[in-house]
Each structure stands twice: as C-alpha cells, then as structure tokens.
C-alpha cells in the first residue's frame, strides 16, 4: 500500500484514505485492468495527438469501447486542464451523465464532485476543483447563457451526437460559433504580438494594465478543442458540418449475436417481455438479460410482475433479480444495475432507451427488444406536442441487439416478426425535425441569435415549425411585436430551466391578482415527473379508491397539490422518528396511498430547486390558502393555449386548433366532463387523450388571454 500511495501521491486525499480499506487495493487493481483491456486503451497516445493537432475532431467508436469514460481521463492526464480549465462532456441523458461521472470518479480514485463531477437539470455535483465535468447537453446550453464564450472549458466533448437531440444540434451550432470567436481573439492577439515595434512596446508599458487585461481575456478564450463522439458509423454529416473536420474510428469488439423474431405480431409487449424473460431464465445458460421498455411506468409494472411470477417457480431453480434504470431514478439507485448479480442469481435489467448506447452494463448475454421507444412528437400545424410510444428504427434495433455481444456471443429476442423489421425506418429522424422549438428558440434569443431562421443548424427545422414556435412565444409574452426578447418577462422565462409555458405560469402566479405561486410551484414540480399515481393492473380498483382521498372536483392540478400537501403534513407529523424510520414510514404512506414514492421524491427535489430559482428572481412566493379560485384562474391564464370545450358527444374540441380530444381515463374529470377545461399533455394511443386537466370558466379565457382569443377570432 505504501508504495502505491507514493507512486500516486498526486491523487486526491480520498484515494489514499480509501486505500487503507483492505479490499480497496484489489478493487483498484481490477478497475485498472478493466481500463487497460478496453479497445480505446491501445490508441491513447494516438488519440491525444489527434486532439493536439486538430481543433475539431470526430470520434466514432462502437458502444462500450471506452470513449465516454476514458477519453476525458486521457486528455486530463495529457495536460489539457492547464490554467484551471475544464474538460466538459455532454450527454443527451441525465442518467448517463450521472452514472458515467460516478464510474470515472471511481476509476480515478476520487470523491465524486471533486476532480470529476456532474451537473444535470436540478442537480449540480461539482466544485471549484472539478476538472472533468459530465453534464447534459441542455445544461451546457444554459451555461452559455451566462458565459457566451464557455471560457471555463479548454475542451468540450459532445458525446452521443448520433442521438441528435435538439439540444445536441443547437449546441453544435453554438460551439461552432464559440470556437470561431475564441480562435479569432487568439489570432488577433498573436498578430499584434508579431508586428510589435519599439514604439508599441513603449505603448504597452504605458498601457500596461490594459494589455494585461487583454492577455487575461485571451487566456480565457484560448482556442476551444471540440470533440464530437458518436456510436453510429455515419461521421460524414458531422465532418461536413465542421468544414471537413477530421474523423477517426476506434475499432471495437463484437461477438456474434443470434437474432430471434416472433412468428406473429404480439398483442401486449409487456406481457410478451415477461414471458420471454422467464423463458430465457428457465431454458438458457447463465448470463444477464436486458429488456428495453419505454418508460418508468412500464418498467415499474414489469418489475412488480417479475417479482410475482417468481413466486410460482419451484424452490430449487436459480433465482432472478430485476433492476430498473430510467432517467428519473434517484441517484442512489442508479448504480445498482452495474453491480454484479449476487451468487446464484440472474440479473434482468429493465431499461429505457438509456441502455441502447449511452451506458454499457457489463454481463449482458440476452437482449429482449419489443421494438418501441417513447418520443416527443410535434405537429407544427396544430401547435400541439405529444409524447408517444413509436416503433424504433433499424439502426436502433441493431444497436440494441449489439448489447448482447459485448463480452461473448449472445442472443437477441425481437418481439415482432421479421417482416416488421424490414418495414422500420433506417434511422431515427433528428429530434429538431419533430419537436416544439419554443424552448430552444427562447434560449437562442437570449444568446443574441435574433435571426433564428438563419441560424446555422446542422439540420434545419422546417420554416413553419419555427414560425409556429415564434408565434407561441409571442402569445406567451416572451417576444415583442418585433420578435425581440421581451424584458423582463422573456428574460425571466429563459432563466428558468422549464418549458416556456411552465415558466410563464410561475411568473403569472406571482402577480397580485392570483397570488398563488406556492401552489403553482407544486403543480409545475409534480407535472415535471412521470406518474405520481401508480395503478397496477391487478389492483386497479383499490388504487382508484385511494386516489379519491386526494381528488379535487376541480381537476388534476388541484389533486396534485392535495397529494403534495398531504405528504408533507404526514412527513412533519412523523419528524420525531429517526431518519431511517422516518423514510420507511414515508415509503409506507406512499404504498398505502398508491403514490409512486420515487416520483414524489423527484418532484420534491425539483420543487426545492425551482423555488430557489423564483426567489432569486424576486418573484413573490405566496399561497392562496384554501380558496382555490385564484389558482384555477391562474391555471386558465397560464395554459390558455391548451384549452378545450365539451362537445355534445362528450369529446372535447381544443380551442387553439379544433382538434378533437378526450379526457384520459386517469383524470379525476374523466366522468364529470365539465364544459371547459385547460390541460397539459396530449397522449396518442387509439384516441387522442388529454391528461392533467382542470375545470375553468370559458369567459376567463377571454378575460385573461384577450390577445390570444382576439387573434383566434
Ligand atoms: P463508450 O462510451 O465507448 O460506449 P464507455 O466508456 O461508456 O464506452 O464504457 C466503457 C466500459 O466501461 C464498458 O465496458 C462498460 O462496461 C464499463 N462501464 C462503464 N460504466 C460502468 C459502471 N458504472 N460500472 C461498471 N462498468 C462500467
Ligand atoms: Mg459512451
């Protein structure tokens, strides 16, 4: 131990502390062996050299080859963090940013948040000593609002660029500008240096302080190294976008994977997944199983079903343990998927798309792929965005099956017939082509990009989608008649890490007329998480009865506020218990009331963060007390874009676009069907359903959003 400590004395204190534990040495050695065996390890020197000689570099490498975890460490060790600069690595998904940062901190032998840290929306685990920072692409965009030159960073790595999220696409455009601007400043400075005469030197002396500050400025804006990493083979599009930038490929390892299809279309892919899990478990050799599901709700329901079905297996058979991973999973639980299954257990990982390329989980030999993904889609003509479950692309199906062959040969079970595969799209359409752009446009405006249509997008969104979003921002009051950012409203909206419609709701709620910011903060936090209520199929009636205790006859938003308050009240009553007992009693309360405790916890975290945000903005945080009328009026004033009127046959007509929609069965207003409602979410299954609805008065809409309804007429 002594020798190891000496040879690594440059490392952080926590490392040497950790080393005193008897198993730490073995663990470090194992980690180091694992790192050395990764495909990327053999090309470390070459990669570092490529980064030194090219300001923009595109790296393509198979998933699991070590790009995300290793490259930042290589660059750190090669001295890219001089002058206290950071290496920033962006990820499209928050779980990836968090779990990868934890892994890298472990590999470096440091405490998370010191040398290696992460920042995602609503959570920042970094400090002044952080040098390798993992974050979401959206977060780096937000940082650019405060620091347009991203001067903290010497290197920015845009990871998982093939995912083509809106944030990644916009970030690429922005980084291109930042890189140009930073190299211009440096070049100008060098030109002045080269042409210096004695006179200039004299001048410099006189203006000593000025030239010093200029130098400092330049240090802040040394050229930005930009690295774009992607799992798919198509580097061309990125290379072309960056003026023929150099692209390098890293050879990966891939073992053969046998693909199996179903004979017929399956009716219920959750049920089929469950059957497949147990078939593999009973008939196949050891090895873990990875199941791709579309979201938290599905994952939690399959997790419950696995547990139940296990009880029916004979005592003697090998055991099975199901572990979930999805984006809002509390951080303490995220790392569980990476831990090897206990002896005598087979692990089945229930994952969202996160496991497709963003994180690599060791030990997987079987993949079950129902062939679906949840995606946001947007219809610019109607101005409505919805979250739908849609078929994946061929490229995604290939990525998914590849996950079975990372360490040895494996099997992939596609829960659809082979001819269905042939019908899939080749690749996924970039998100910017199919989403609501208002949030991103608002951010571009703050960054000073006024001509959004002229912005250098890697893939241009349609003109009509841009115009529709500009219109929306205008009716929300974020833009002026001249399409400029309004002050203070537009600026305030942009500074909140929320959808523009939610930001506006918070601002309106602080107005004296409504005075219900407390209630609106709760509402926005609760709407930002998936499924507060859980209603397992086998206990549907019990769940519905439990929900009635919280239900407000006025709608779902008020019901959510009731749940939040009831929970807080209960929590306070039990605050004399020890921390452990307290948490246990809270979990029990949630279980008894059919509330999803993970979601509620997440909502509470979000609440505390956005409360901090609005306090910083000096908005007046007050409660409307027991009188919910001002709150409902405020909901009407905020969500007027999503208002709907009842039609004779019990369906609703959305006022903004005439679309026919229905109230979702999970809504407390499902049976009641009031005349006029506002809603937050549209989901399309066999019908177009709206969720999170509240009863409002039709006349309020005209009174509170006169500009919009006048325009409509
Ligand atoms: P890439 O970015 O090229 O897809 P990564 O750098 O994410 O690859 O992963 C490299 C290797 O590190 C993989 O083999 C993976 O199994 C392992 N790995 C990554 N994160 C963890 C973790 N949290 N726990 C255990 N192994 C991990
Ligand atoms: Mg990666």
| Residue 271: band (very low, low, confident or very high) from pLDDT cuts 50, 70, 90 | very high
Q: How many residues are present in the chain?
A: 713
Q: What per-residue confidence (pLDDT) applies to 213?
A: 45
Q: What per-residue confidence (pLDDT) applies to 189?
A: 59
Ligand 1 atom index nearest CA of 102: 23
* Best CA proximity match to 223, nearest among 80, 115, 48, 58: 80
Segment 471-517, tens digit of pLDDT: 999 999 999 999 999 999 999 999 999 999 999 999 999 999 999 99
Q: Are 137 and 131 in contact (CB under 8 A)?
A: no
Nearest ligand to the CA of 71 is 1
Segment 390-422, tens digit of pLDDT: 999 999 999 999 999 999 999 999 999 999 999
| Residue 4: band (very low, low, confident or very high) from pLDDT cuts 50, 70, 90 | very low
Q: Which of 360, 399, 400, 402 to mutate to test the pocket of ligand 1 (most atoms within 8 A of CB)?
A: 360
Nearest CA to ligand 1 atom 7: 68
For residue 235, is pLDDT > 90? no
Segment 285-310, tens digit of pLDDT: 999 999 999 998 899 999 999 999 99
Q: What per-residue confidence (pLDDT) applies to 187?
A: 65
Q: Are 397 and 373 in contact (CB under 8 A)?
A: no
Beta strands 384-391 and 372-379, pairing class: antiparallel
- Stretch (H or E) spanning 150: none
| Ligand 2 centroid to residue 36 C-alpha, Å | 17
Ligand 2 being an ion, which residues bring their Cβ within 5 A of it?
Answer: 67-68
Q: Are 413 and 276 in contact (CB under 8 A)?
A: yes
Q: Are 55 and 80 in contact (CB under 8 A)?
A: no
Q: What per-residue confidence (pLDDT) applies to 21?
A: 53
For residue 263, is pLDDT > 80? yes
Q: How far is CA 485 from CA 116, 473, 490, 704, in A?
A: 36, 9, 5, 22
By CB atoms closer than 10 A (0-12, 13-18, 19+), residue 89 is: buried
By CB atoms closer than 10 A (0-12, 13-18, 19+), residue 471 is: middle
**Which of the pair, 310 or 12, is modelled with greater confidence?**
310
Q: Are 169 and 430 in contact (CB under 8 A)?
A: yes
First to last CA, the chain: 78
| Ligand 1 centroid to residue 213 C-alpha, Å | 43
Q: What per-residue confidence (pLDDT) applies to 222?
A: 77
Query: What mean pLDDT is predicted for residues 65-92?
Result: 96
Q: Which of 36, 98, 103 to mutate to test the pocket of ligand 1 (most atoms within 8 A of CB)?
A: 103
Nearest CA to ligand 1 atom 25: 338
> DSSP assignment, residue 544?
H
Segment 325-360, tens digit of pLDDT: 998 888 778 889 999 999 889 999 999 999 998 889
* Best CA proximity match to 177, nearest among 491, 463, 458: 458
| Ligand 2 centroid to residue 596 C-alpha, Å | 31
**Does the beta carbon of 399 lie inside 6 Å of ligand 1?**
no
Q: What per-residue confidence (pLDDT) applies to 188?
A: 64
Ligand 1 atom index nearest CA of 406: 14
Token digits of residue 528: 């930002």
**Which of the pair, 44 or 190, is modelled with greater confidence?**
44
Token digits of residue 63: 């998933």
For residue 317, is pLDDT > 80? no
For residue 205, is pLDDT > 50? no
Residue 654 CB neighbour total at 10 angstroms: 21
**Does the beta carbon of 65 lie inside 6 Å of ligand 1?**
yes
| Ligand 2 centroid to residue 61 C-alpha, Å | 9
Sheet with strand 319-325: strands edge to edge: 257-260, 410-414, 364-369, 288-292, 345-351, 319-325
Nearest ligand to the CA of 69 is 1
**Does the beta carbon of 72 lie inside 6 Å of ligand 1?**
no
| Residue 15: band (very low, low, confident or very high) from pLDDT cuts 50, 70, 90 | very low
Q: What per-residue confidence (pLDDT) applies to 214?
A: 44
Q: Are 556 and 668 in contact (CB under 8 A)?
A: yes
**CA–CA gap between residue 356 and residue 366 (Å, rounded):** 13
Query: What mean pLDDT is predicted for residues 171-197?
Result: 74
Most distant CA pair in the chain, distance: 92
Q: What per-residue confidence (pLDDT) applies to 198?
A: 38
Preceding amide of 530 cis, omega within 30: no
* Best CA proximity match to 157, nearest among 225, 221, 89, 62: 89
Cα 313 from chain centroid (whole Å): 38
Segment 100-112, tens digit of pLDDT: 999 999 999 999 9
Q: Are 639 and 678 in contact (CB under 8 A)?
A: yes
For residue 458, is pLDDT > 60? yes
Q: What is the pTM of this model?
A: 0.86
DSSP states of 405-463 as a string?
A: GSSS-EEEEESS-HHHHHHS-SSPPPGGGSS--HHHHHHHHHTT---STTS--SSPPPH
The three-point CA angle 48-52-54 to 5° equals: 115
Q: What per-residue confidence (pLDDT) applies to 38?
A: 93
Segment 518-531, tens digit of pLDDT: 999 999 999 998 88
* Mean pLDDT score across all residues of the chain: 88
Nearest ligand to the CA of 95 is 1
Token digits of residue 139: 């977060």
Percent of the chain at pLDDT above 90? 72
Segment 42-63, tens digit of pLDDT: 999 999 999 999 999 999 998 8
For residue 155, is pLDDT > 90? yes
Query: What mean pLDDT is predicted for residues 631-647?
Result: 96
Residue 205 CB neighbour total at 10 angstroms: 9
| Residue 221: band (very low, low, confident or very high) from pLDDT cuts 50, 70, 90 | low
Query: What mean pLDDT is predicted for residues 647-657?
Result: 92
**CA–CA gap between residue 117 and residue 132 (Å, rounded):** 6
| Ligand 2 centroid to residue 225 C-alpha, Å | 19
**Does the beta carbon of 324 lie inside 6 Å of ligand 1?**
no
């Amino acid at each position: 131990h002594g020798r190891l400590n000496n040879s690594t004395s440059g490392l952080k204190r926590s490392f040497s502390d950790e080393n005193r534990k008897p198993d730490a040495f073995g663990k470090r050695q194992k980690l180091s062996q694992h790192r050395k065996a990764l495909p990327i390890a053999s090309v470390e020197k070459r990669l570092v050299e490529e980064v030194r000689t090219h300001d923009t570099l595109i790296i393509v490498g198979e998933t699991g080859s070590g790009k995300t975890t290793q490259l930042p460490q290589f660059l750190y060790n090669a001295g890219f963090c001089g002058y206290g600069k950071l290496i920033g690595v962006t990820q499209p998904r928050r779980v990836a940013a968090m779990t990868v940062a934890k892994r890298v901190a472990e590999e470096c032998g440091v405490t998370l948040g010191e040398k290696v840290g992460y920042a995602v929306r609503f959570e920042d685990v970094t400090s002044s000593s952080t040098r390798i920072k993992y974050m979401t692409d959206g977060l780096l965009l937000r940082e650019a609002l405060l620091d347009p030159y991203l001067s903290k960073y010497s290197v920015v790595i845009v990871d998982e660029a093939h995912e083509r999220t809106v944030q990644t696409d916009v970030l690429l455009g922005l980084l291109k500008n930042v890189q140009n601007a930073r190299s211009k400043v440096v070049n100008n400075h060098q030109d002045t240096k080269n042409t210096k005469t004695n006179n200039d030197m004299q001048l410099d002396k006189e203006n000593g302080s000025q030239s010093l500050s200029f130098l400092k400025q330049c240090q802040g804006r040394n050229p930005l190294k930009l690295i774009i990493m992607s799992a798919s083979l198509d580097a061309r599009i990125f290379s072309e976008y960056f003026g023929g930038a150099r692209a390098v490929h890293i050879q990966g390892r891939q073992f053969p994977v046998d693909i199996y299809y179903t004979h017929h279309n399956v009716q219920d892919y959750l049920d089929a997944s469950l059957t497949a899990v147990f078939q593999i478990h009973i008939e196949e050799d050891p090895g873990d199983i990875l199941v791709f599901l579309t979201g938290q709700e599905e994952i939690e329901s399959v997790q419950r079903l696995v547990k139940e079905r296990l009880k029916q297996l004979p005592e003697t058979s090998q055991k099975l343990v199901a572990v979930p991973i999805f984006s809002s999973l509390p951080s303490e639980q995220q790392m569980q998927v990476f831990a090897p299954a206990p002896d005598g257990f087979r692990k089945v990982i229930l994952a969202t798309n996160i496991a497709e390329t963003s994180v690599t989980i060791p030990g997987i030999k079987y993949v079950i792929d129902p062939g679906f993904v949840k995606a946001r889609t947007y219809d610019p003509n109607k101005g409505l965005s919805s979250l739908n479950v849609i078929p994946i692309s061929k490229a995604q199906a290939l990525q998914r099956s590849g996950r079975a062959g990372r360490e040895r040969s494996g099997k992939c079970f596609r829960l659809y017939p082979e001819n269905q595969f042939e019908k899939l799209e080749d690749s996924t359409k970039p998100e910017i082509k199919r989403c609501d752009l208002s949030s991103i446009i608002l951010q571009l405006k703050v960054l000073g990009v006024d001509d959004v249509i002229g912005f250098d997008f890697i893939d241009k969104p349609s003109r009509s989608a841009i115009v529709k979003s500009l219109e929306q921002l205008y009716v929300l009051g974020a833009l002026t008649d001249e399409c400029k950012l309004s002050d203070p409203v537009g600026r305030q909206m942009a500074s909140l890490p929320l959808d523009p419609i939610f930001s506006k709701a918070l601002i309106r709620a602080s107005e004296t007329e409504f005075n219900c910011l407390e209630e609106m903060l709760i509402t926005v936090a609760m709407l930002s998480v998936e499924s507060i209520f859980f209603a397992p199929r086998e206990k549907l009636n019990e769940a519905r009865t439990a929900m009635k205790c919280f239900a407000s006859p006025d709608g779902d938003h008020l019901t959510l506020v009731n749940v939040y308050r009831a929970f807080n009240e209960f929590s306070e009553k039990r605050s004399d218990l020890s921390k452990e007992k307290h948490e246990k009693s809270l979990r029990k309360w949630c279980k008894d009331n059919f509330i999803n405790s993970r979601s509620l916890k997440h909502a509470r975290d979000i609440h505390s963060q956005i409360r901090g945000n609005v306090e910083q903005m000096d908005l007046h945080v007050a409660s409307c007390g027991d009188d919910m009328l001002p709150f409902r009026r405020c909901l009407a004033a905020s969500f007027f874009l999503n208002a709907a009127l009842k039609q004779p046959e019990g369906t609703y007509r959305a006022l903004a676009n005439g679309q026919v929609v229905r109230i979702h069965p999970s809504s407390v207003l499902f049976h009641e069907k009031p005349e006029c409602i506002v809603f937050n979410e549209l989901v399309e299954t066999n019908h177009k359903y709206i969720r999170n609805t509240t009863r409002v008065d039709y006349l309020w809409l005209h009174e509170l959003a006169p500009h919009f309804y006048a325009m409509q007429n």
